[in-house]
Chain A
């Protein structure tokens, strides 16, 4: 009964490739997020969607494009991967955007070689 599930868990790919990470939540939450965690463990918010609408778009290169087909899904597509994109990407959800508890997926470990 995984509340927030994301795939794939591990991804090794070459520079310049395009890849996608999928995320689904079965909690009935309105808000979904993508976070990036680097090797120093900083958790940086990338995007947030509320009921399929983009509401937070931090300073992320436009090679990163989120897509939310419905409020239970938030996918992340990355074009022209660079070495610096190597990180753990966490999908997450919360009831609403306003400071509610955030439920994280298990993470997708992306390694760009």
Chain B
């Protein structure tokens, strides 16, 4: 079964609004990574979080790693049409030995 759960699967956002996508695991993660895939493109690495409670920002994107290192979130403020795409979280543990991808959140932005 899927070890990294991601919600929502789809997100329709009005341009200028904020939204958040969430990633959850039943297992404590060593790190979590976020990727973005533009329509017709390939997944591209955005960021990696390693420490408990870590928060990182990239312009309008805020990434957070939970205190228990079992969940993460990506919050986008003032959504723009360039934010369209699918956002994947991916986590790993020492025992998994590989990166497990979530199902992705497909984001559609309405002008």
What residues make up the interface of A, taking CB atoms closer than 8 Å to B? 40-43, 45, 48, 56, 90, 94, 97-99, 101-107
Sample 6 A-B pairs with CB under 8 A, ordered by A number: A43-B88, A45-B98, A45-B101, A98-B97, A99-B31, A102-B35
Secondary structure of the B side of the interface? strand
For the complex, give the distance between the alpha carbons of A102 and B31 in Å: 13
B99 touches A99 (CB 8 A): yes
A43 touches B98 (CB 8 A): no
User: What is the minimal beta-carbon distance from A39 to any residue of chain B, in angstroms?
Assistant: 11
Complex: chain B residue closest to A106, CB-CB: B42
For the complex, give the distance between the alpha carbons of A102 and B44 in Å: 8
How many B residues touch the partner, as a band?
20 to 34
B42 touches A43 (CB 8 A): no
User: What is the minimal beta-carbon distance from A24 to any residue of chain B, in angstroms?
Assistant: 15
CB < 8 Å neighbour of A104 from B43, B92, B103, B106 = B43
**If the complex has contacts A90-B42, A97-B98, A98-B92, are A41 and B104 also in contact, measured as CB distance less than 8 A?**
yes
Which residues of chain B are within 8 angstroms of A94 by Cβ–Cβ distance? 99
Complex: chain A residue closest to B48, CB-CB: A101
What residues make up the interface of B, taking CB atoms closer than 8 Å to A? 30-31, 33, 35, 37, 41-45, 48, 86, 88, 90, 92, 97-99, 101, 103-104, 106
For the complex, give the distance between the alpha carbons of A48 and B99 in Å: 11
User: What is the minimal beta-carbon distance from B49 to any residue of chain A, in angstroms?
Assistant: 12
Which residues of chain A are within 8 angstroms of B37 by Cβ–Cβ distance? 41
A104 touches B44 (CB 8 A): yes
